[in-house]
Structure 1
Amino acid sequence: MKLTFIGIDPATDTDESPTVWVDEEAEDLVFQSYTADDETVATCARTQIPGHSSGCPEGEGIFRVPFRMVPMIREACDVAERSHRRRLAQGGEDVSGSS
C-alpha cells in the first residue's frame, strides 16, 4: 500500500498530529485524529440512520477531525477522485457506486 501524504493539522505540536493521507490504489481517504469522547460515541450510537443498525460496527471508529483541516480534506478528496478517473480512463471498473 502506498499512502500519499496530504497534510497535518498546522495547529498541533509534535505530540498531536491529526493527519490525512490518500490511498490512491483503494481510492480511500485515511485519517489519523482524536478518538471521540464517550458522549460523542453515545450520541452517534443513538442516531438512527435508515437502513443501518445503530451503534458503531466492529472495525469502525468514531473520531473528530479539526475544522481547520477542511482544506486538506478537500485536497484529499480531489486526489482520490483523480485516481478514480485515471483508473477508469485505463479501463478499470467503476466501484464508486455512482451512476
Structure 2
Amino acid sequence: MEVKVELPLRLARVVGARSLNVKVENGTSVRDVLSSALSKEAYCMVVNGGGVAPGMLVLLNERDVRVLEGLNTKVNDGDVVTVLSVTHGG
C-alpha cells in the first residue's frame, strides 16, 4: 500500500521534496511512515521521544494524530500524513 507524506518547507529543504509517496505494509504506524520517509535529521525535528516534537503537528487525513492513537495510529492505503510547523508568538 502507499501513503503520501506532505512536508512544510523547513523539512522539505532537509529531505529534498515537499511531498513523498511511501510504500508501506499493512499495520504500519504513522511513526513508521515518518521514519521511512524522512532523513534522521528531519525525523528528529518531527518526533521527540515518544511523541510529536514541540512546535510540530502531525495530521493523518487532516486529523491531529494526538486525538487518535498518537504516532502509533495505523495508516491505510491512500492515507495522507501531513507535517506542519507551528510558529506563534506575540
| Both proteins in one fold, TM over 0.5 | no
More relative contact order in 1 or in 2 (CA 8 Å, sep 6+)? 2
Higher alpha-carbon Rg: 1
TM-score by length of 2: 0.31
TM-score by length of 1: 0.30
